[in-house]
Each structure stands twice: as C-alpha cells, then as structure tokens.
Amino acid sequence: MARDGLSKYRPGSGVRLYSSTRARHRAGLSPLLDPSTLTPLAPPPWATEADAMSLPPFGRGVALLANGIAGTEWYARRWDPDVGIWQRVADTPNILTDPVPWSTAWHYKWGAAEDLILYGNHFARYLFDDFRTARPGVVEPLPADQLWLQVNPASRAATLVLNGDDVPWSDVLHVSSGNRSGELFGRGVLAQYAETLGGYVAAERHAGAYFYGGALPPAILQSPTAVTQAQAEQLKASWRQMTSTREPVVLPTGYILTPLVSNAETAQLVQSRTWDAQLVSMMLGVPSWKLGLPGPSMTYQNVETADIDFVRDDVDRFAAPLVHAITKWLMPLGTEVVFDWAGRMRMDQKGLADILTTYVGASIVTIDEARASLSRPPMDAATQPGTTPQDVPELTPMEAT
C-alpha cells in the first residue's frame, strides 16, 4: 500500500491501484467478479521480466535491440550557420564518453535500452556536472522496475520513491518511450503484452512438463472395487512416477489402465511454440529470420536492406527517445546528440564505391570527404591524382618505417 494514504503507481508496469469497477474497466483491467457468480476460467498470469527473458526468442530479440544501440557510436553536434551544416563537436561531452564512473558508455547504453524496451522508462540520478556543457555529465542509473511514483492527493505533488527514499524529480534524468499524450510514464513491452507473454510462458511450461514425462499421455485407472481417497492418490502417484522415469508399472489384479491418446503433434505443441515465437518477433519488431524462425528466402541484397530497415524502424524507436532526452536536458542550447547509424546502414562495398566515385566526379564531395566516410584519413598531396613519380620524395628506411 502507499505510504500516508498517497496513491502509488509503478512506472512502466501498466498497473495502477483502482477502487471501482468502472475505473478498472477504463484501465483495461478485468471487471471485479461478483462472488455469487461462477468464476470464469482464469487467464494466464502476467509474465515477469525473468519469465519473459527466459524465453529464447524474447531474450534474443531484446539482446539484438540493445546491442544495436550499445554498439553504435553517438556524438554531439552543433549547427554551423557559416557553412550551413551540422558540425561534430570536437570536445565530446562526458555524458557520451564516460557517463557512469564505475562502468562504460557501452554498458550504460545497453542498460538504458533494456529499460526502455522492457519497462518503457529509463531513470538516472545526476551526480556531477561537466565543465564542457555546464550540465550534468555523470549519472547513476536507477532500476526502472523498483521506482514508484507517489502523488499527494491534496497538493498533486509527485515524488519518485526508491527503496523507501524520496528521489526529487530535479535530480533525475527520465527517458520514456511508448507513452500516450498526457501520460508521464512510458509503456514497455512487458506491460503492453503481459498477458500474451504469460500465455507463452504457460505453454512453454506445459511443453516442458509434457516432454519431461517422456511425452506419455495421462491415463484412466479403473478399479474393480471401491477405493479410498488415499488409495486413489497412491495409484496416481505411481502413474506419475512411471511417466517420469519410463519404468514399467505393475497393477493389482482387476485394475485396468486406459491411456488417453495424445502426442506432441496432436497436442499442437510444435505449432503453438512456433506461433508464440513469431508473436515475440512482432512484439519486439525484430525480423523473424534474426530469431532463427522460418522466413522468406534472403539474398545478400535484401538481407542488407532488411538490416537497414531493422535499424531505422526498430532499433531507432528505442534509441531516439534516449538521445532526444539527453539533448533536451543535458546539452547546451544549439547542441544535439545523435547516433552514427551510417556504419550500420552502409550498403555493400561495391555499391558504396560506385556512389562515392559518382559524387567525387560530380564535385559533390571531395576525395578527402569521400575517404572520411570510409573512416580513412585525408590523402597526402604526393599521392593525389595527377602527381608524377618524381614528385614523390624518397623516404629513408626510418621514415618508411
């Protein structure tokens, strides 16, 4: 319960405390049941983070998205009105190079990406300022699933609470993803697809129990005489033991064992598991072929195009909220943070060489600008096209080394 009668809400969990059936209906929750009515079939429990991440397609999909963000360079840039282009800032702010003293920028980006994917929110407490920006440059990431929001009904003042301690809003960087207009907190995959993921987890547990028992079906045990409840329980225990160990079972005279016909195919375990994995692919926005699922035949060219679409449409939907929040709250006016997606969305070498050659020939870019796009240094004057061999100075062995 909330402290001091304050209403309490966990960011990204998708769960609020409601006091009326109408409010629960507006929130998309099941209506309260009348005790006098029959209880309907209970839906599967909502999947927790541990449940969802234990599913191979889900865990792998989250890792692909998080790695796409963590493994991509980000940098700060400013608009240069003299030349009319964005220019990279020479002295990179600390929040981009070393945001967490006891970790690395790669780990910070990975953790922030997982927070946004799973819970729709990322929180980090400000620690120290950066002299380059006069804004916070060192932060302490906070667990997104352990923060609560408390709202005072009288003053409407909101406070974040972590392990019973208040965390002032002014001391926290908050990045949200998936929230609707007017909503403070984002909505992650766990909250949006909690019940569907719960069904996937239940199906996996059922499949595990099915195959753990040697894929042997349940059976009907018939006794020639009336049996007590204790005797019935003993017979059932004997059957369970036999199905798990595949040992033969001996029945007393007159007992009849009638197995119920079943197998993995008629139980549709294979089809249901494949469909659940495809649902996870849709939930996360990760192409099915990246999760080892059947998909269309891919050539080199359309695999490359699919990778570009994956970065643009799927990875960037979690990366963009992060850089926009850092730009707004931690950068000086006129400076923005961007990810360098060019390396991940680059075409094949032959296509890139053809385009750069065309651009250089049309004087759209210089040779050095083309080389810079390939992460190569500028060419020396001696190696520029048009120089003769006698123009190239002879190098001594030390200089050649």
Identify the DSSP state of 261: P
Report the sign of the C-alpha dihedral through residues 54, 55, 56, 62, in that order.
Answer: negative
Residue 149: what are its φ and ψ, rounded to 5°?
-110, 125
CB contact at 8 A, 314 and 67: no
Question: Which residue is associated with the tokens 């060019």?
Answer: 342
Q: How far apart are CA 13 and CA 365, in angstroms?
A: 50
Helix 316-330 to helix 56-70 angle, to the nearest 10 degrees? 40
Give yes or no for residue 124 having a pLDDT over 70. yes
Q: What is the residue whose two structure tokens read 């009319």?
A: 84
**Does the pLDDT of residue 392 top 80, yes or no?**
no
Higher-scoring residue by pLDDT: 4, 189: 189
Calculate helix-pair angle for 194-212, 269-284, nearest 10 degrees: 150
Instruction: Give the DSSP letter of residue 377.
Output: P
Which of 90-94, 182-186, 259-263, 348-352 is most confident?
Answer: 90-94
Q: How far apart are CA 209 and CA 217, in angstroms?
A: 11
Name the pLDDT band for 168 (thresholds 50, 70, 90).
confident
Task: Give the chain's end-to-end CA distance (angstroms, integer).
Answer: 72
pLDDT of 206-240, one tens digit each? 665 655 554 455 666 677 777 778 877 777 777 66
Closest CA to 193 of 306, 57, 39: 57
Domain ranges of the chain: 9-14+52-214+263-344, 216-262, 347-394
Return d(Cα 58, Cα 65) in angstroms, integer: 11
Residue 32 pLDDT > 70, yes or no?
Answer: no
- List residues bridging with 162 in a β-sheet: 147, 165
Question: What residues contact 28, with CB distance under 8 A and at least 6 apart?
Answer: none
For residue 27, is pLDDT > 50? no
List, in sequence order, every beta strand (DSSP E) within 182-223: 219-222
User: pLDDT by residue (tens digit) across 310-333?
Assistant: 888 899 999 999 999 999 999 998
Question: Can you tell me the distance from the alpha carbon of 122 to that of 172, in angstroms, rounded to the nearest whole number?
Answer: 10
| Of 25 and 123, the one with more pLDDT | 123
Q: Are 162 and 12 in contact (CB under 8 A)?
A: no
Whole-angstrom distance, CA of residue 121 vs CA of residue 127: 19
Record the tokens describing residue 386, joined without a space: 């048009």
The DSSP code for 185 is: S
Helices 105-118 and 316-330, packing angle to 10 deg:
110
